Amino acid sequence: MNFFSVRKYCIVSLFIICGIALNIAGSFAGSHISFPLYLDSLSTIAAAALFGLVPALIVAACSNCVLALLGLVGIPFGICHLMTAVGAWFIFRFADKPYKLESFMQAGLLAALTNGVFGSVISQLVYGGNTTISQVDTVVQGVFTVCGNITAAIYIGGILSNLVDKAFSALVSYCIYRIVIGNKKQN
């Protein structure tokens, strides 16, 4: 192994650790604000943009495992974290470098749709429609009040909350990307 591959391995490993920590911190913050945000994938999209699929999957999987151990998310929702990583990698695979905000927002939109649908399926089938995130459950209750159908409320509420959350996560990931790319140009 030469110096550059060891250096790159160390940089990727450090980013993975920091990315997991940011996702966990984001999830804690999301659980303490009065707005339906998960904030548990703040760095997953950035990992896919900067280092590819495998580091993004590691950030997603490890974040979900730690959050599950802390009781903030159920293990079955790990599929949503992994879909965020795969979806972002897919978008960046076809985007021109350096990536623009548009690519990050597309990755966020794809994650919002996949997480909204699959997260709602998991929420309904495994947890009886409950996400254990009171702000998101309040959105579902509000939609249920309007439409009177709990299944529709779960899906609509899940997709709406994910659209806001993943748009914010995509913006944060873009900022992380710009900072890291800026530092790479200086070295």
| Structural domain containing residue 152 | 3-186
Q: Please, are residues 162 and 40 in contact by the beta-carbon 8 Å criterion?
A: no
- Asked whether residue 186 carries a pLDDT value surpassing 60, the answer given is no
7-28: per-residue pLDDT in tens?
899 999 999 999 999 999 999 9
Mean residue pLDDT of the chain comes to: 92
Residue-wise pLDDT tens digits, 23-82: 999 999 988 887 888 899 999 999 999 999 999 999 999 999 999 999 888 999 999 999
Residue 182: per-residue pLDDT: 85
141-175 tens-digit pLDDT? 899 999 999 999 999 999 999 999 999 999 999 99
Which CATH number fits the domain that encloses residue 12?
1.10.1760
Say how many domains are in the chain. Answer: 1
pLDDT of residue 185: 62
- Alpha carbon distance, N-terminus to C-terminus of the chain: 21
pLDDT score of 135 = 79
Residue 132's pLDDT is 72
Q: Kindly provide the b/e burial profile for residues 59-71, where b requires at least 16 CB atoms within 10 angstroms of the residue's own CB.
A: bbbbbbebbeeee
Here the tokens at position 79 are: 């599929």
Distance CA 179, CA 117 (A): 32
Please state, in angstroms and rounded to a whole number, the distance separating the CA atoms of residues 127 and 154: 11
pTM exceeding the 0.85 threshold for the entire prediction = yes
The half-sphere exposure of 24 on its side-chain side, counting CA atoms within 13 A, is 18
